[in-house]
Amino acid sequence: MFGNAKQDACHFTAYGSAHSRSGFPEADPAVVRLMNPMNFIGEEGTALAPHFRIRHGSRDRDTSLAISAMLTLKLQEAGAEVDYHLPWGLPHAGDYDLEELFSWIERIV
């Protein structure tokens, strides 16, 4: 993800680069910053969508539940309407109910 024209892969932290046996360099911090939406929500000059729908399976082993919760709170603080739920027992790639999604889309448009 953080590779460039000269390097297939890069570390996204100085710590990772310093403690790696791979020899990959550290990625450009400006590129790494682009991967985190928290850096842009509420930033002057940033347009924010008025509606968000966030689903995070309660059995997600790839990302902490705290990440989606913090994203939700930051979006709400910035004035967005957020439909946020933690579907019980579903993993990272869980089926998050398409009929419910389409109903949400119909409601907001």
Q: pLDDT tens per residue, the chain (109 residues)? A: 788 888 888 898 889 889 988 888 888 899 899 999 999 999 999 999 999 999 999 999 889 999 999 999 999 999 999 999 999 988 888 777 899 999 999 999 9
How many independent structural domains does the chain possess?
A: 2
- Cα 58 → chain centroid: 16
Q: Name the pTM for this structure.
A: 0.79
- Considering the domain architecture, whether residues 65 and 29 belong to the same structural domain is answered as no
Is residue 99 assigned to a domain?
A: yes
- Considering the domain architecture, whether residues 76 and 99 belong to the same structural domain is answered as yes
Is residue 11 assigned to a domain?
A: yes
SS3 label, residue 38:
helix
Q: Which domain holds residue 97?
A: 49-108
DSSP assignments along 50-109, one per residue: SEEEEE--TT-SSS-HHHHHHHHHHHHHTT-EEEEE--TT--TT----HHHHHHHHHHH-
